[in-house]
Amino acid sequence: MSPFFFLLLLSFELACSYRHPLDPLTPSEISIVSSVIKTSHFGSSKSLSFHYVGLDEPDKPDLLEWSLGHRRSKEKALPPRRAFVIARSEGKTHEIYVDIASRSVVSDEVYEGFGYPMLTFEEEEAASALPFNYPPFVASVAKRRLALEDVLCTPLSVGWFGEAKQGRRRVKIACYLTGDTVNFYARPLEGVTVVVDLDALAIVEYEDRVVVPVPESAGTDYRAAKQRPPFGPQTKPGAVVQPEGKGFEVDGHMIRWANWEFHLGFDVRAGTVISVASVKDSEVGTPRRVLHRGFVSELFIPYMDPSEEWYYKTFFDAGENGFGLSAAPLEPNADCPANAAFMDAHFAGRDGAPGRIPNALCVFERYAGDASWRHTEFGFPGQVITEVRPDVSLVVRMVSAVGNYDYVIDWEFKTSGSIKIGVSLTGILEVKGTRYTHADQIAGDEHGTLLARNTIGVYHDHFVTFHLDLDVDGPANSIVRSKLKTVRVTDGSSRRRSYWTVAKETAKTEADARVELGDEPGELLVVNPSKRTRMGNLVGYRVISHGATATSLLSDDDYPQIRASYSKNQVWVTAYNKSEKWAAGLYTDESRGDDNLAAWSRRNAGIEDTDIVLWYTAGFHHVPCQEDFPLMPLLSGGFELRPANFFESNPLIKTRPNGPVLLPNCSSNP
């Protein structure tokens, strides 16, 4: 093949490889971006590492203009494709924008503020290997009479605890005895602190303070092949069958199903990114905009053990590790049902080379076996009228396995117009080794629950913060709080002495919209102040919590709380700003809370009748219990964005019932 032909092929592939301005960078685009930065920009500089490579999405007005034009004519030219890169070179953090078509660096600025970019897998792996060639660590393992070849280590972010000067980029290394179990986290080697300077890739601090028994391996393995009778409960095999095929269409990254259409993207920091979600109103006949962009912005997982080896464990899984980068390849027929479609995701490695996460996302129709609405009418003499419609929804799922924990994030689109966001926790608890073997031996506060011999499950929280740029029938929206208030009847006008009524308040500025939903009875609505139903009500969407309403209990002056100061409210609303995506700041590792959601909200910008972003935190306080060991069953919570005076009436009344499911005649026993 001549080089010219190869070039032609390459440019053809590029031209066709993305179709929507929000499509994630393709592997060839990632290659272009990293090679432009490596060659034309940093020359042969040896120290260059890529910490974030992602799409710099077009400015919102350009995107909306493109969408409008694209609807009218499919020929509408795509806005320029740009990548945003955070790279480190010679100990400095660079923010680089690359124009992909012209293969050029548009801008490069050195970031001088506090905090560091996401860690890379490669440096985490290299840091984890350091203790094995560090004689004091080898001696600590020998002192505990453990076999060095049974020990494995993993890096943990160090946080920030009031140091006035910017520290080096560091991680602490936690080590575990594995031996004959694959439960990596069940057998911690307590008492040892190993601090690694990531840029120098060297151990810079070491302490062996106390010797604590290492829990035994019995009962910790979770592989099916390792289980012995008596076995757990057994159910019959079953699967969802759709004899007429899938009901949704995957067109590049656009998904169309029933009355919904949306763009499904991926980002190494956020994971799943849902964009331009619109719901078709059968009365109007056209799609109506609901959610411009929604994604997991940050996670905050503070542990509640203040001891020397544990106090720093206060993790930010998106900003420190990459919630998307940690996406687990999904197992067909287990993580997602038999009728699921899968999508791969792509990322840039530390050296900028593209990598692939197979089956990072799945999309499926959920036949929950529930009704979407029903009524039985006994009132007519001699007849019983029953109407029921089954509930079928479309689910987009990702699982992120950040170290020990697995988070299942579901975006569920319902034909009723609701979007339900599910957050589920499973995986392995972070446990602490202890000398105790029975709860009766424990006198003081051990900061957790004794789960097994020598094993404490430490108290902690999970706060998952979502960025939700709702555009209900357009970008200019307002926040309305309707509060339910008890009214006393004192004038004798009724035989009742009280009732409740609704008082509505529109939030004027960001400070008015810092909400703890559970605080007082009421509703939180995102409305379009210039659109009303025929009845004259403002069209809107309600935000409803489904469990997971915990907010942080740490004191305001505690360092992890300063970094995650937004975690004391479930809801914040800010004026839209393209650069404000990450609730704990762009540089979360070793951050100080100076660039977080609470700091942005202190500007107290106006949020009435303008483009706003709603930030919702799903929170769990986790007091571990024995069932969470050796691996915890799924614990779920979440929230719902539910139409409220958005449609003229129940959009499902005219939905015709499905016919019977005609199963194909097949048998696996010929």
Ligand X SMILES: *[C@@H]1O[C@H](CO)[C@@H](O)[C@H](O)[C@H]1NC(C)=O
Which of the choices Cu ion, ligand X, none does residue 234 contact, using the CB cut-off of 5 to 8 A by kind? none
- Min dist CB 577 to ligand X, Å, is 4
What's the rounded Cα separation, in Å, for the pair 324 and 452? 32
What's the rounded Cα separation, in Å, for the pair 570 and 518? 9
- Of 54 and 560, nearer to Cu ion (C-beta) is 560
Q: Is the dihedral of CA 363, 365, 367, 372 positive or negative?
A: positive
Asked whether 266 and 272 are in contact (CB, 8 A), the reply is yes
Query: What DSSP state is assigned to residue 224?
Result: G
Cβ-count burial of 65 within 10 angstroms (0-12 exposed, 13-18 middle, 19+ buried)?
middle
Kindly write out the interface string for residues 548-577 of this chain, putting x where it contacts ligand X by CB under 6 A and - elsewhere.
-----------------------------x
What's the rounded Cα separation, in Å, for the pair 81 and 346? 17
**317 is a catalytic site residue:** yes
Site for ligand X contains 579 (CB under 6 A): yes
Which of the choices Cu ion, ligand X, none does residue 579 contact, using the CB cut-off of 5 to 8 A by kind? ligand X
- Min dist CB 334 to Cu ion, Å, is 22
Scanning 74-82, 320-328, 576-584, 614-622 for contacts with Cu ion by CB under 5 A, the matching segment is: 614-622
Asked whether 291 and 263 are in contact (CB, 8 A), the reply is no
- Min dist CB 457 to Cu ion, Å, is 8
- Of 434 and 574, nearer to ligand X (C-beta) is 574
What's the rounded Cα separation, in Å, for the pair 575 and 554? 27
Smallest Cα–Cα separation from 198: which of 241, 234, 155?
155
- Min dist CB 578 to ligand X, Å, is 7
- Min dist CB 397 to Cu ion, Å, is 20
Structure-block tokens of residue 492: 């004798």
Site for ligand X contains 580 (CB under 6 A): yes
Q: Is the dihedral of CA 576, 582, 588, 591 positive or negative?
A: positive
Site for Cu ion contains 481 (CB under 5 A): no
* Residue at shortest CB range from Cu ion: 622
- Of 244 and 627, nearer to ligand X (C-beta) is 244
Which of the choices Cu ion, ligand X, none does residue 133 contact, using the CB cut-off of 5 to 8 A by kind? none
Selected binder of ligand X within 248, 315, 463, 600 (CB under 6 A)? 600
Selected binder of ligand X within 2, 665, 668, 669 (CB under 6 A)? 665
Site for ligand X contains 490 (CB under 6 A): no
- Of 442 and 599, nearer to ligand X (C-beta) is 599
What's the rounded Cα separation, in Å, for the pair 181 and 487? 62
- Of 141 and 584, nearer to ligand X (C-beta) is 584
Structure-block tokens of residue 41: 């920009």
Which of the choices ligand X, Cu ion, none does residue 665 contact, using the CB cut-off of 5 to 8 A by kind? ligand X
- Min dist CB 666 to Cu ion, Å, is 43
Which of the choices Cu ion, ligand X, none does residue 622 contact, using the CB cut-off of 5 to 8 A by kind? Cu ion
- Min dist CB 466 to ligand X, Å, is 18
- Of 131 and 624, nearer to Cu ion (C-beta) is 624
- Of 14 and 605, nearer to ligand X (C-beta) is 605
Give me the catalytic one of 23, 317, 471, 595. 317
Asked whether 144 and 154 are in contact (CB, 8 A), the reply is no
Other Cβ atoms within 10 Å of 461 Cβ, number: 21
- Of 333 and 577, nearer to ligand X (C-beta) is 577
Q: Count residues near Cu ion (CB under 5 A).
A: 1
Asked whether 212 and 446 are in contact (CB, 8 A), the reply is no
What's the rounded Cα separation, in Å, for the pair 370 and 390? 6
Selected binder of Cu ion within 25, 622, 639, 644 (CB under 5 A)? 622
- Min dist CB 622 to Cu ion, Å, is 3
- Min dist CB 462 to Cu ion, Å, is 5
Scanning 154-162, 568-576, 621-629, 642-650 for contacts with Cu ion by CB under 5 A, the matching segment is: 621-629
Give me the catalytic one of 52, 303, 405, 407. 405
- Of 28 and 404, nearer to Cu ion (C-beta) is 404
HEC readout, 199-211: CCCEEEEEEECCC
User: Could you tell me which residues come within 8 angstroms of residue 426 by beta carbon, excluding any fewer than 6 positions away?
Assistant: 405, 406, 408, 631, 632, 633, 634, 635
Which of the choices Cu ion, ligand X, none does residue 253 contact, using the CB cut-off of 5 to 8 A by kind? none
Scanning 179-187, 557-565, 607-615, 620-628 for contacts with Cu ion by CB under 5 A, the matching segment is: 620-628
Question: CA angle, corner 511, sides to 506 and 516, nearest 5?
Answer: 80
- Min dist CB 595 to ligand X, Å, is 6
The single-letter code of the amino acid at 416 is S
- Give the E-state strand segments of 209-307 in sequence order: 248-251, 254-257, 260-267, 271-280, 287-302
What's the rounded Cα separation, in Å, for the pair 643 and 640? 10
Question: CA angle, corner 408, sides to 254 and 174, nearest 5?
Answer: 125
Site for ligand X contains 604 (CB under 6 A): no
What's the rounded Cα separation, in Å, for the pair 483 and 499? 14
Which of the choices Cu ion, ligand X, none does residue 577 contact, using the CB cut-off of 5 to 8 A by kind? ligand X
Site for ligand X in 414-453 (CB under 6 A): none
Q: Which residues of 540-554 are buried (b: 16+ CB within 10 A; e: fewer)?
A: bbbbbbeebbbbbeb
- Of 476 and 544, nearer to ligand X (C-beta) is 476
By CB under 5 A, name the binding residues for Cu ion.
622
Give residues in contact with ligand X (CB under 6 A): 577, 579-580, 600, 665
Kindly list the catalytic residues: 317, 405
